[in-house]
Amino acid sequence: MKKTNVLILFSLLLWGCSQSKNNVEARIDDLLSKMTLKEKIGQMNQLTGTGLSTDMTDCIRSGEVGSILNEVDVKTVNELQRIAVEESRLGIPLIFARDVIHGYKTIFPIPLGQAASWNKELVEEGARIAAKEATSVGIRWTFAPMVDVTRDPRWGRIAESCGEDPYLTSVMGAAMVKGFQGNDLSEPRSMGACAKHFAGYGAAESGKDYNTTWIPEIQLRETFLPPFKAALDAGVASFMCSFNDINGVPSSGNEFLNKQILRNEWKYDGLLVSDWASIQQMISHGVCSDLKDAAKKAANACVDMDMMGFAYISHLEELVKSGEISEKQIDEAVRNILRMKFRLGLFDQPYTKEDTTVFYATESLEKAKQAAIEGTILLKNDNNLLPLNDKIKSVAVIGPLSDAPSDQLGTWVFDGEPERSITPLQAIKDTYGSKLKIIAEKGLNYSREISEDGIKKSVEAAKKSDVVLLFVGEEAILSGEAHCRADISLPGAQSKLLSELKKTGKPVVLIVMAGRPLTIEKEVNQADGVLYAFHGGTMAGPALIDLIFGKAVPSGKLPITIPRMVGQIPIYYSHKMTGRPAENICLIDNIPVGAPQTSLGNTSFHLDAGDSPLFPFGYGLSYTTFEYSKPTLSKNTISEGDSIIVECSIKNTGKLDGKEVVQLYVRDLVGSLARPIRELKGFEKIFIKAGETKKVSFTLKPKYLAFWIADMTKKAEPGKFEVWISNDSQTGVPVKFELK
Ligand code: BGC
How many angstroms separate the CA atoms of 199 and 176, rounded?
Answer: 18
Closest Cα to residue 112, out of 569, 512, 677, 686?
512
Cα of 532 vs centre of ligand 1, distance in Å, is: 27
Any ligand 1 atom below 6 A from CB of 528: no
Question: Which of 275, 278, 412 gets mutated to test ligand 1 (max ligand atoms within 8 A of its CB)?
Answer: 275
Residue nearest atom 12 in ligand 1 by C-alpha distance: 99
Q: What is the best residue among 143, 241, 251 to mutate for testing ligand 1's pocket, by most ligand atoms within 8 Å of CB?
A: 143
Give CA 682 to chain center in angstroms.
Answer: 18
Gap between the Cα atoms of 84 and 80, Å rounded = 6
Q: With the C-alpha atoms ordered 558, 563, 566, 568, is the resulting torsion angle positive or negative?
A: negative
Q: How far is the CA of 279 from the centre of ligand 1 (A)?
A: 13
Closest C-alpha residue for ligand 1 atom 4:
276
112 Cα to the center of ligand 1, angstroms: 17
Instruction: Indicate if ligand 1 lies below 6 Å from the C-beta of 210.
Output: no
Q: How far apart are CA 100 and CA 313, in angstroms?
A: 26
Q: Is 481 in the pocket of ligand 1 (CB under 6 A)?
A: yes
Q: Is the CB of 160 under 6 A from ligand 1?
A: no
Q: Which residues pair with 679 in a beta bridge?
A: 666
Expressed in angstroms and rounded, the spacing between residue 147 Cα and the centre of ligand 1 is: 13
One-letter amino acid at 13 equals L
**How far is ligand 1, taken at its centre, from the CA of residue 276, in Å?**
6
Q: Which of 155, 158, 248, 145 is nearest to 197 (CA)?
A: 145
Span from the CA of 477 to the centroid of ligand 1 (angstroms): 16
Atom of ligand 1 nearest to the CA of 146: 9
State in Å: Cα 373 to ligand 1 middle. 28
- Which 8-state DSSP code applies to residue 599? G
Q: What is the pLDDT of residue 12?
A: 56
Q: Is 99 in the pocket of ligand 1 (CB under 6 A)?
A: yes
User: What pLDDT is attached to residue 21?
Assistant: 77
Model pLDDT, residue 658: 98
pLDDT at site 600: 83
Reported pTM: 0.97
Q: What is the pLDDT of residue 15?
A: 55
- Does the Cβ of 549 fall within 6 Å of ligand 1? no
Low-confidence ranges of the chain (pLDDT < 50): none
Residue nearest to atom 10 of ligand 1 (CA): 143
Kindly state if the Cβ of 276 falls inside 6 Å of ligand 1: yes
Residue 293 Cβ contacting ligand 1 at under 6 Å:
no
pLDDT of residue 305: 99
Q: Answer yes or no: 275 catalytic.
A: yes
Give yes or no for a cis peptide into 400 (omega within 30° of 0): no
Looking at residue 629, the DSSP 8-state letter turns out to be P
Q: Which atom of ligand 1 is nearest to the CA of 144?
A: 10
DSSP 288-311: -SSHHHHHHHHHHTT--BEES--H
Q: How far is the CA of 275 from the centre of ligand 1 (A)?
A: 6
Q: Using a 6 Å cutoff on CB, does residue 196 contact ligand 1?
A: yes
> Is the CB–ligand 1 distance for residue 143 below 6 Å?
yes
Give all strands of the β-sheet with 658-668 in edge-to-edge order. 637-638, 735-739, 719-726, 658-668, 679-688
**Residue 162 and residue 113 in contact, taking contact as beta carbons nearer than 8 Å:** no
How many angstroms separate the alpha carbon of residue 536 from the centre of ligand 1?
Answer: 22
Q: Which atom of ligand 1 is nearest to the CA of 197?
A: 9
DSSP letter, residue 520 = -
Closest Cα to atom 2 of ligand 1 = 275
Q: How far is the C-alpha of 352 from the C-alpha of 132, rounded, in Å?
A: 12
pLDDT of residue 597: 87
Residue ID of nearest Cα to ligand 1 atom 11: 276
Judge contact between 621 and 381, C-beta under 8 A.
yes
Tell how many helices (H) and how many strands (E) occur in the chain: 20, 27
Q: Indicate which residue's Cα is closest to atom 8 of ligand 1.
A: 275
**Is 275's C-beta closer than 6 angstroms to any atom of ligand 1?**
yes
Among 275, 306, 407, 528, the active-site one is 275
